[in-house]
Structures are given as structure tokens and as C-alpha cells.
Structure 1
Amino acid sequence: MHPHLFLDKDDISQLRRRLQDEDFNRPNVLGVTYSQIWKEIMEVADSTLRRKSMKIYEGTYNYPEGYLMSLVEPEQPPRHSFRHPFWTGICGSLSRDMTNLALAYVLAGERAYLERCRSMVLSICEWEVWSDPDYPTPERPFPCCLDTWSLLSGIATAFDLLYDEFTGEEREKIKNAMIEKGIIPIRDYALKKGTWLYSPERWPNGYAMLHAGFGIGALSLLGECREAEEWVEFEKEKTLQFLDREVGPDGGLIEGLGYGNAAIAPLLKFMVALERTTGDSMLDHPAIRNVMLLALYTLAPGGKTAVNFCDAGGPEGCKPTFSLLMAYLAAVKGNKYAQWYLAETGLYKEDWGRDNLFKILWFNPSVEARIPSDLPRYRHFRYTGWVVMRSGWGPSDTLVAFKSGPYRGHGHTDQNSFIINCSGEWLLNDKGYQRYERPYPSDTPDIDEEKIRLMHVFSHDTIGHNCVLVDGRGQERVGGKIVEFNGWNFGATVVGDASEAYPNLTKALRRLIFIEPNTIIVRDILESDRPRMFSFLMHTTKEGKVKTHGREITIEAQKSRLRAYVIKPEEVTIEVKTYPYPRTREEGHYVEIRNKEKSPRGEFLIALQTSSR
């Protein structure tokens, strides 16, 4: 019986009744009321109805002015010759529109939502493939990709929600399209040893999204297709493989917060649908709660940004993620920490895109929000090689994050790097999402090959991080490791070993000591087989004002300040530098601390202290 994936007819009736329920419509910790969420969903659906087309491929050789694609009866996008995953955004947008229209119809009953969604679903079912035939190359395209996840999960959700509104012929058409263009390509590729769908290590978030789409598609076809049960069992095994192997026992996610959430959120949807549809539960897997701890610890003071190691966010940190996971844990499991995270970040005040269904389904303002002050203030995420240390959980506290772990996926060459936030401002920062070394369709004429190269170097390579350079050179694409971590009741210490990452060093150890509430001491021990010039780098945002005086360095932001004092080396040169590519979002500057004379052994000892202004 449909719908059954995420809600049934009784749930729909309950969602309608909540409009009149005072408990859901009074001021609360989440900052919004149920009626406001309902209104936003209808506004999103109305906006979708007004949009009749969208421009794609803009800035490419084939379509410099863009190609106008219908949103009423979306046709398969034309071929292109630009090496860029255009279909990821295109199909993600289509999936969002179909899901929101279907949701709006089952809640409000407005036929215009139904007819537009029906038109979109049936048109997309006419496409020859649900994966870009020109990506990554026309000669060797993927048989399935993130496009497939978006279309399969979006159409499966619409199929389930609107099942009674489709004719028998339309249901057959949708079912066949889901099988032939989504489920079978994913299954076949996942059975091929060595592919990124066979095992999650090669591309964790891609593996998770495609398998979640496969599972949701299979669950939507239970009772419709005799192979569906077999597909569901296959997906249970693949999901468990990801949870066991790609989520560390303490919640670490190898690709950082952005792509970590991109993996966890789809798998959560599959697991929720699995439990509702079959009664089989994977939701008590320890990975679920442990990822919550990752989200809590990496949230910056004030809740507006989070730690942005790997490809996540930008120079001012990354936006808080894990809205879906936290909403589920708070509303369904009654987790008070998760409710605090939602309240602190204000995530319920934002549009959840294709996840608006869960925003309204899991809205539960009655759960108490508890600040995690009873948790230890320091945590080592062993699998990823991250350590997070905080002075507390308030808006004026200090957070220090340290990284030395595997180099994989969306990683950077930044072993032994660290970042510092005080009062919600990144005083020492990470550049966030790297600029890949290839042209982007959005590039302006002044962004030439050399600027692209430099933007990549300063966002991915060691020189763009708070690390050490050796004769001006950084690390290779090799991992590091945490060799020591200890926490006390007044601070913590961590030691990272990046020796294998530096081709010209035999030893590269960094010890970072955090002493509450605001003191950080960093010591580097560096050894080589010949005399070298060593550089200690400290990056800040373009808004940070840097001053130097002798051995003292001051970085001032709007609400906070960082003071640093160079204890070693005894003979030192301190220089403030700016990035060599102006007028881009990666603008900023950094401090380079160098030994004056080359030596086979280098040592840096630097004391830092944060304060609120």
C-alpha cells in the first residue's frame, strides 16, 4: 500500500491536524512554528509552478549563453563537451522540485501541484539515460552517477506519495524507468569489482548516495516487482558496509563535514524507509549517534559555522550540516543534544530543499534542548585523524581543531594543520573547498590558467594551510597520523606525525597543547638529511587584520583577537604575505615565520592566546 516510504495516509492526516495544534505553533527553541514551515513548503511549491524553465550549460563552448531547459516537461539535456558534472546540479534541482510538489499536493490537495509533478516525472521517464553520457568523458562515461541518485530517489518518492493519482499505465512506465535507468545500472556497477560502487573506499559519498537511491527505489517497488525484495537485501548489506568501514568508531567521516553529511543523509533516508516498510532496523547502528558527536564537537562557538577541513565551505568555515540526522535524532529518538544543535545553528529557519518533507515530518519542538556541557570538551576522532578541543560550548568560547590523518577523497595536503576559532570568528583558518585545477563554466575572463593553478595550490596544497613548508615546498598526497592524544580537566595535548608526507624530511612532528580557556602552544620538530629552510605558516581570513612587532604577531577580527609569540627559532624572519590572485573569494593573507639560516634540524615553538574584544 502506498504511500509507505516515509509517511502513510495516517501520517498525512496528522500533519494536517498539526496546523491547529497549539503545541506545534507557539514560540519554541527551534525558532519557527509548524505553520511557518507549512507556509514555506507551499511557497516553495508555488515558486516551482511559476518557473517554467531553467538555464543550463551557461559559459560552455557549445552554449556560451546557456541552454533553456523546460521544467514543465523536462527533456534530456543535450550533449556537451565541457568536462564538468553539469547533470549533478540539473538532476538535483529536478529531484527537489518533484519532491516538493508531491509533498505540497498530499498536504494541501492543490491539483496544480499534482499535475506539474506528474508532467515532470513522466517526461524524465522518457530520457534515454539517468546519468550524464559525457561525464567524466564522452568516451568513458559512468553508467550511473550522482544524477542517477537524484532522479531515482526523487521519482521513487513522488511515485510513492502520488501512487493513487497515477494511472495503471503511468505506474508501469515509472516502474520500468526506475528499474532500467536507475536500479539496474547501479546494481550492475556495484557488482563490478574495483568500482567505486563495489566498495566505499574510493569515493565514499558517491557510494553512499547511489546505494541510498538504489535502496529507496527498491523499497518503493515492494509489491510491484518480484526482484524488489532481493534488491533491498543487497542494499542492506551495502549500507552496513559503509557504516562499518567509512564511519569511524568515534564518528569520524573521512571526507569532512560537507561530503560526510552528503553520505549520511541519503543513507538515513534509506534506513528510515527500510524500517517503516519492512520492520528491519539499522537505525541503532552506533555510527548514527557517533556522527552526531562529530557534528557537535566541530560546531564553532555561536553555531554559525563549523570546522572546514577537507572540501567543505570556504575561508570563513563551512555552514553547519547534518540537519536531517539531527532532526531525526531529536524528533524520533528524543535526543536533547541534537535538539540543541538544531536550535544553536538555526537550521530550521532555512530551506531544506529536497528534504523539506523531513523538515515538517520531524519537526518536534517539545523535545528539550540540552547544551552538551556534560560531555568532555576534547575529542579524538581516530579514523580521520581529527582532534577537537574547546574551552566550552558558549558563543564566546575558543575552539581548536587539529588534523593529521589519511589522505583520501576530498582531502588536502594539510597533515598537522590546525585552525582556531574564538567567539565565532576563524582567527586561524582553513581555505575550505579546494579550487580544482580545471576551468569552471562560471570563470570570468580574468581567470586564466595560471590563476587557476594558483587558486588550486593555495586551497589544496600545504602552502594554503597552517602547516610547515620545507625549502618552500609542501607535502605529497600522503597521510599523517595522530601518535598521542591526552585530555585533562584543564586542557589537552595532541601530537601529529607528518613525516611520511614530506619527501624532504625524515621527521615532522607537531605537538599542540591547549590550556583552558584560551592558550595554545605549538611545537614542531623537523629533521632532514641536509640543511633546509623551514617555514611556519599562519593563515587568516581577508577580514583579519595582521600586525607584527618583533617576535609578536597579532590578528584582530571584529569580536576576537589572537596574539602569538615566537619563542623558537632564536633567529627568525616574520613576513606577512597576501595570496597572488586578487579579486577572488579566496582572497586573504598569511604570516610566514622562517629560520634565518638553513639547518638540517628545525624547531618552532610558538605560544598563542585568544581573547574576545
Structure 2
Amino acid sequence: MDRRTALKLVGGALSLSALPPLPLLQKRLHVAQNTSHLFFLPGDLKRIRANAETALLKDYFQECLNVDFEQDRKELDEALADKFLFTGRRKVMAMIERESLVYLIKPDQQRSAYLLELLEVVQKLDKWDYFLEGEAKPLGFQLAPQAAIMLLFAKEVLGDALSPEQQADLLHAITEKGCVPCYNALYTMEHHPDTKNWRFDPDFLANYDIDMSRWPIILDGTNLKAIPCAGLGLGALALRGRDKRADDWLDLAVHSTKEFLAMFSKDGSYFEGVSYSDYSMRNLFVFMEAHQNIIGDIDWFDLVNFYGYAEYIACLQMGEKPEKGKIDVVNFSDANASVHASSALWVANRGRSGLAQYVAENYVDHRSINDAGPANYADRRMFTDLLWYRPEIKAEPPGARLLNKRLDLDWVICRSGWDKNDNVIAFRSGMPANHEHADRNSFIFKAFGERLLTDPYGAAYDWRQPKWLLRLTEAHNAVLVDGKGHQYHKGEEGTNASHAEAHLLRYVDRGEIVWWCSDATQAYQLVDADVDLVMRSVLFLKPDVLVIFDQLRKKHNASTFAARFHPENSDGMAALRKHGSNAFWIERPHAVLLGKVAAEAGITLNQNLLDIPKEDGIFPYFQAETAAATSSQIVTALQVSPRSDMARLQPAEIARRDDGWQISITNRSVKILTTGDVPEFVV
């Protein structure tokens, strides 16, 4: 990438002084390497084996080595018997991935024999995925492409250890049970009118009540387009010259991959959230790398702002979860985990990005096998971590430039610093998205290592389950009109996008003082056409003060307006209590929040629980509700501190003025001026 291209990607309107420093670009390989190897070149083997001894990956590889075969075979039998095919088949593929890595790095006769046994088991399965078109046409969205990738990797690792007959049998299975379903999936997404009824395989135990008639259209714009691209693309590369369909398959995989990559925003952000970007890219990167090495006619790195993608991953970090070594992320939608190292390592390698290297080394779940409880490397590591890691690339942590970030998605993430216990606010404006929640104008506030105001994890995918409620506005730090949130579907087509929109009208970044304004009127009008304005403005006075200002108006009929505040309580450690009539405390083990609310027509503060059975969790919240009126303004002043220093907190003072509001909080004075179309903050 030349400098002109890089400047264009980060925004040509910015001054040079505001631009991120360009990575040190070494020669990027974008020509064919005269190889048929899909995954690694023979000359890479020494480096790959050395990676198994690095601090980043040695515990992962040690976990791969330390296998109790009796227990493993028991788990294999259980996985094959699992009628919820997704979990069982994934477990089998993970075993193949593990055994292939062991054979690649530390060949062993017992392990190679077990790998061959696992390959034979998978080849004998009559199908690899759980989607069908019509009566029996297989569609490969998740399991079939994953199986194709894993079996191709095992084939390359084993090499001459496989007899010609074994290689032929393996390729046949990959072709018919992997490539054909992946091709069917991509073809039907490309040709919607020709598509017949999609359905789940009757052997798939999950009993979802979903109308799939529009799924070819819906999935064509989601992460599930990416996975079959990877499986089909790799299979086609392996089958060139062996199967007459391979060239057409490769063309479709390339075309569909380009279509998927076009879903990324210009700044490198991805609309479904960080974990869905990871699921897509950790698979697509495998195909893109192989295609670049074997064909070499596309420089895939130039099709997305991947430097920006590394920034996106970094900006969505929120320290750690209470479980040791578990990474916490901004979990708008169902996105609930950080990336695999591979999703950043490919960027680090191809773009010589120090930030991407830092992401791979620091923003991946890192519980060790020596920690209490079961290790989790099998979930957050991948074979390409070992293939692509280059320790010589100098990691560069995110700096001051990324402390305040407005994404092209109209998401805002601002923080007081990059330490895991620094304070972070994440705000959700923007457009609908697959896997989304009804969360326009909602926010998450994490301070001193505690989610004092959260977007709860664990929302149900099935509309019939009680925790479907966690998808709705009522379960978010957002506004209700007459007790109702903004528009959201009823789950009849799954977890697809709604029609609800919000838009940032203003964003002001002054370093330690940041504010923005977001209009979500359209989202609420879809529920109540009489809504005339739902606008939320947020001021972040670093490190410990938030001011939330809601402007709410109806066209004709009076309504009650309410703002809700939900603490993290999955561990049962949140304590809520009122302080007088209109202030409240939220206490977590390491930090506390003190809030104060006020409104034009008076306000009532109540504490309650979401209507979810206790066996599914206890979800407490505060609700500040106005009296019925055609318009109202709600001011919420929030301050936080470590629990050890909570005695210094005193409720804010909030007063109405002719031109807006006056707030005194933590020895600071804030004015909200409301004389214009968009409010202004004066600090």
C-alpha cells in the first residue's frame, strides 16, 4: 500500500498531524509464490516450530500435546452422538486441528495414527452441515466449510504419510461434503429468486421456530457469507486440475469474498461487532493468504482498511471480565468476545502493523493451563496462530490518538486510558445490523474494572425463551416512551436486523472532555407515530463523570418518558440503593456509581427487576420516569469512584435555567444550553 492509499483510507480531510503513523512497510508479497501449498511453505516450518516455544503460544501448544486419549475418545463419541450438530461436529474438527498441529510441530506415530482415525470418522459422516434447501440439497454455512478447511490442513500436514488412495478419498469427501454445500450456499445467496425453501436438517436437534423464507437475502449481508467463501475457496485451490468444477468454484469464492469485504466501513469497522468480524476474518484470511500465494493476482490487503480494522479491535476492548484472563469487549449486539490472534496476525504480517501485533499479543483470552479451572485455549486459539506469528514484528500499543473514537458506524468509544482498569464509555448510535439488540442511544460504562452500567451478556436467540427480553430496549441503558422501547422484530426470522436507526448529529472531542448528540427519533416513531423527538446527548468528563441529557417530545398526546440504568449482576455482586428521592447508588465489588436525575415535569425514581425467571438470572435496574407530558427533558449526572474512595462522592446539584440546565458535580460546573437545535455543553 502506498502512502496515497493509506491517507485515503484514514480520511484525506484530516491534517497530516492528525493521521496515525504509517506502519513500516516491508515488501508485501502480492505475487504468486510458485507453490501448491495452501497453508505454509516448506521454508516456514522452522519458524512455525519455533513459535510453539514463544510466550504467546507455548501454553496453547502444550495443551495440544497433553491429551488423555481415553478421555478424548469418550468425548469424541459424545460429540458424534450430539444431536445439536453444531457443538458436536465443531468438537470433532477441533480434535483434527489439534492433532494436525502436533504432527506438524512434533511428529509422533501415536498422534498421527489418531489423526488418521479422526479423518476417517469425519469422512464417514453422511453430511457435515445442518442446513438444507428443499428436501435434500445440502447448504454449507458453518460446519461444512470448517470441515473442509481442517481436512485440507490435515492433508497438507500429513503429506506423504497419506497413501495415494487415502489422499484421493480425503479429497473426494472434501469435494462432495465440503465444497458442494459451500457452493450451494453461495450460489443461492447470489441468485435469490431461484432459491427454494431453506430449512434446518431434520437431524438437527435445535427446535427453532423461524421463518427462513428470506434467509438467502438476510445471510447474504452477514458473517455467514464469509465462512463458505473460505471453505469453497480453499477447496477450489486444492482441486484445480483435478475437478472440472474447481475454476467456477474459485471464481464464485473470490467474487463472494469481495462482496463480503465491501461490508466493512471505510475506517475498518464491522457492523456486527468484534466477535463476528473475528469469526469471518479468521476463516477468510486463510483463503486470502492461500490465494495470494498460489494465484497472486489480488492484493487482498488493499480491499479493506485493515490498519483501521486493528484500531477497531483495540477500541472495542474493555479490560477483563471477572473470570481470570477473560477479555471484556464492547458487546453491542450478540458480539461477546474478542478476536483470535490470527485475525490480527494476518494484518500484522501483511501490513507490518505494530498495533495489530499488539492486539494479537494482548487482546486475546489468555487463561493459562496453569490457572484454576479449565483452560480455554481451544476456544480462543487457532492453528494459524502458529503459522502466522512473527515475533520480530514490534508490537505497538494503542496511544492517545485512539482514546476517543467515533467509528463510521456512529458508535462512540471513549476512555480515560489503556490500562485494563481505566474507565470506558461505549455508546450505540447508528444503523440496524444482524445480531443486533434494540439498543439505539444506549451505552455501557465501565469504571475501575467494573461494569457499573452494562449491556447484559447472554440474550436468547430464540424468541420463545425468557432471555429474549435481554435483546429489547427495556434491558438497556436507554429511553422508554410509555414503557416501550424502540422498534424491534419479534424473532420470527431469527436474530436479523430491525428497521431502527439512530444518527450522530454532533461529536466534539477536546481530549479530556468529549460530548456527542444522537437522534433516535425514527426508531421510536416505528412504534408510536406520535413521537416527535428522542434525542440523547452525552458528556464525558474524564475520568469519572458522565452527564446524560435526554430531550423527548410527542406531537399530540401526553406520554411518560423513562430512562433505565442496568448494572452488571451476572455474579450477583451488584448492590442497588436509593439516595433520597432522586439519587441512586450502584455498587460493585471494586467500584461504585452515584447518580442523580432531574426532569422538567418532575421525576420518580424506582428500583425493579427485569421480568425474567430467577433461574435465568437476576437483572436489577433503576428507572427514572417523568410525569405524563407532551415533552420533557431528563438530566442524569453520574459519577464513579473506586469502592475504597466512595465516601468522597456527593450527589450532583441540578437546576433548570431559562437557557437550559446547570449542574454542579465533583467541584465542576456544567451548563447544558438548549437554545439551538442541538444542545451544547459548557464546562
Question: Which category of TM-score, normalised to the shorter sequence, fits these structures?
Answer: 0.7 to 0.9
In 2, distance between residues paired with 1:137 and 1:4? Answer: 33
User: 3-state DSSP class of the match of 2:331?
Assistant: coil
Alignment correspondent of 2:651: none
The SS at the match of 2:300 is coil
Instruction: Report the alpha carbon displacement of residue 35 of structure 1 after superposing the two structures with TM.
Output: 4.7
When normalised by structure 1's length, the TM-score is: 0.83
Q: Distance in 2 between matches of 1:214 and 1:530?
A: 56
Q: Could you say which residue in structure 2 is the equivalent of 1:316?
A: none
Once the two structures are overlaid, the 10-residue window that deviates more, 285-294 or 517-526, is 285-294
TM-score after normalising by structure 2? 0.75
1:36–1:573 CA distance, 2 compared to 1 (3 A):
closer
1:200–1:208 Cα contact (<8 Å) kept: no
1:225 to 210, 229, 243: 243
Which of 539, 558, 575 is residue 531 of structure 1 equivalent to?
558
**For residues 46 and 247 of structure 2, what CA distance do their matches in structure 1 show?**
29
Superposed displacement of residue 48, structure 1: 5.7
The letter of the residue matching 2:605 is I
Match of 1:129 among 127, 130, 138: 127
User: Would you say 1:369 and 2:365 are equivalent positions?
Assistant: no
| Partner amino acid, structure 1, of 2:550 | D
Q: 1:610 to 1:136 in 2, by over 3 A?
A: farther
**Does the aligned pair in 1 maintain the 2:51–2:386 contact within 8 Å?**
no
Instruction: Give the equivalent residue in structure 2 for 1:53.
Output: 74
Rounded to whole Å, the distance in 2 between the matches of 1:309 and 1:7 is 36
1:253 partnered with 2:262: no
Q: 1:435 to 1:141 in 2, by over 3 A?
A: farther
Asked if the contact 1:6–1:276 (Cα under 8 Å) also holds between the matched residues in 2, the reply is: no
Partner in structure 2 of residue 486 of structure 1: 508
Q: Of 415, 420, 442, which aligns to 1:395?
A: 420
Q: 1:378 and 2:404 equivalent?
A: yes
Residue 456 in 1 paired to residue 468 in 2?
yes
Give the deviation of 1:551 after TM superposition: 2.0
The residue correspondences of 1:108-507 to structure 2 (distance < 5 A) are 108-132=106-130, 143-192=139-188, 193-194=191-192, 202=220, 204-244=222-262, 246-280=263-297, 281-301=299-319, 304-313=327-336, 319-330=337-348, 333-345=351-363, 347=365, 349=368, 351-353=377-379, 355-383=381-409, 385-437=410-462, 452-453=465-466, 455-457=467-469, 459-477=470-488, 478-484=499-505, 485-502=507-524, 503-504=527-528, 505-507=531-533
* Letter matched to residue 461 of structure 1: L
Q: What is the alpha-carbon distance in structure 2 between the residues aligned to residue 257 and residue 102 of structure 1? A: 28
Which amino acid is the alignment partner of residue 607 of structure 1? Answer: A
C-alpha separation in 2, matches of 1:610 and 1:414: 23
Q: Give the 3 Å change call, closer, same or farther, for CA 412–569 of structure 1 in structure 2.
A: same
> Which secondary structure does the structure 2 equivalent of 1:476 belong to?
coil
Aligned to 2:92: 94
Separation in 1, partners of 2:457, 2:518: 21
* 3-state secondary structure, aligned to 2:124: coil
Deviation for aligned residue 1:223:
4.7
Aligned length: 554
1:424–1:367 CA distance, 2 compared to 1 (3 A): farther
Evaluate the alpha carbon distance shift between residue 472 and residue 142 of structure 1 in structure 2; reply closer, same or farther with a 3 A threshold.
Answer: farther
CA displacement 1:61-119 (0-9 Å, x = unmatched): xxxxxxx55x7xx6xx69x6xxxxx2222221121111211121122221222222222
* Counterparts of 1:598 and 1:340, CA distance in 2: 52
The answer (yes or no) to whether the contact 2:60–2:381 under 8 Å persists in 1 is: no
State the shift of 1:136 in Å.
Answer: 7.8
Going from structure 1 to structure 2, the CA distance change for 1:496 and 1:219 (only over 3 Å counts) comes to: same
Q: Report the counterpart of residue 540 of structure 1 in structure 2.
A: 567
What's the counterpart of residue 510 of structure 1?
536
Q: 1:254 deviation in Å?
A: 1.9
Which letter does structure 1 place at the counterpart of 2:468?
A: H
3-state DSSP of counterpart to 2:522: helix
Structure 1: which amino acid aligns with 2:309?
V
Which amino acid is the alignment partner of residue 143 of structure 1? L
Per-residue Cα deviation, 1:115-155 (whole angstroms, up to 9, x for no partner): 222222233223332222xx589968862231212212211
Counterpart of 2:140 in structure 1: which amino acid? C
Quick one: distance in 2 between partners of 1:368 and 1:109? 31
Q: Which moved more, 1:3-12 or 1:198-207?
A: 198-207
Q: Is the 8 A contact 1:399 1:421 kept in 2?
A: yes
Kept in 1: contact 2:425–2:443 (CA 8 A): yes
Q: For the residues of structure 2 that align with 1:514 and 1:17, how far apart are their CA atoms? A: 46
Bigger Cα displacement from structure 2, 33-42 vs 523-532: 33-42
CA distance in 1, matches of 2:338, 2:69: 26
Q: Which runs of 5+ in 1 are unaligned?
A: 26-31, 56-67, 81-85, 314-318, 439-448
CA offset at residue 322 of structure 1?
4.2
Q: Which letter does structure 2 place at the counterpart of 1:371? A: P
Return 230-239 or 504-513, whichever deviates more: 230-239
Take 1:110 and 1:98, find their aligned partners in 2: how far apart are those partners?
15
Q: What do residues 350-388 of structure 1 show as CA deviations (whole Å, max 9, x unaligned)?
A: 5145854222233444443333124242222223x3111
**Residues 24-50 of structure 1: CA deviation (Å, up to 9, x unaligned):** 65xxxxxx266544423322xx34674
> Could you tell me whether the CA contact under 8 Å between 1:339 and 1:369 is conserved in 2?
yes
Unaligned 5+ segments in structure 2 are: 1-33, 196-213, 322-326, 369-375, 489-498, 644-683
What letter is aligned with 1:425?
E
Q: For the structure 1 residues 517 and 368, does the alpha-carbon distance in structure 2 shift closer, same or farther, using more than 3 Å as the test? A: same
Distance 1:587 1:409 in 2: 27
Q: Residues of 2 paired with 1:140 and 1:466: CA distance?
A: 45
Q: Determine the C-alpha separation between the residues in 2 that align with 1:375 and 1:201.
A: 35
Indicate yes or no: 2:567 matched with 1:555.
Answer: no
> CA 1:360/1:190 → structure 2, altered by over 3 Å: closer, same or farther?
closer
Write the distance in 1 (CA, Å) between the matches of 2:164 and 2:240: 16
User: For residues 50 and 634 of structure 2, what CA distance do their matches in structure 1 show?
Assistant: 64
Query: How many angstroms apart in 2 are the aligned matches of 1:421 and 1:347?
Result: 19
The one-letter code of the counterpart of 1:263 is S
CA distance in 2, matches of 1:430, 1:305: 12
Q: Please give the alpha-carbon distance, in whole angstroms, between the structure 2 residues aligned to 1:483 and 1:363.
A: 39
- Tell me how far apart the structure 1 counterparts of residues 402 and 104 of structure 2 sit (CA, whole Å): 45
Indicate the RMSD between aligned Cα atoms, in angstroms. Answer: 2.9
CA deviation vs aligned residue, 1:287-339 (integer Å, no higher than 9, x gap)? 322221111111114683111110133xxxxx432422223334564422233
Alignment partner of 1:254: what SS?
coil
Percentage of matched positions with identical amino acids:
21
Structure 2 residue corresponding to 1:6, chosen from 18, 29, 39? 39
CA distance in 2, matches of 1:93, 1:341: 26
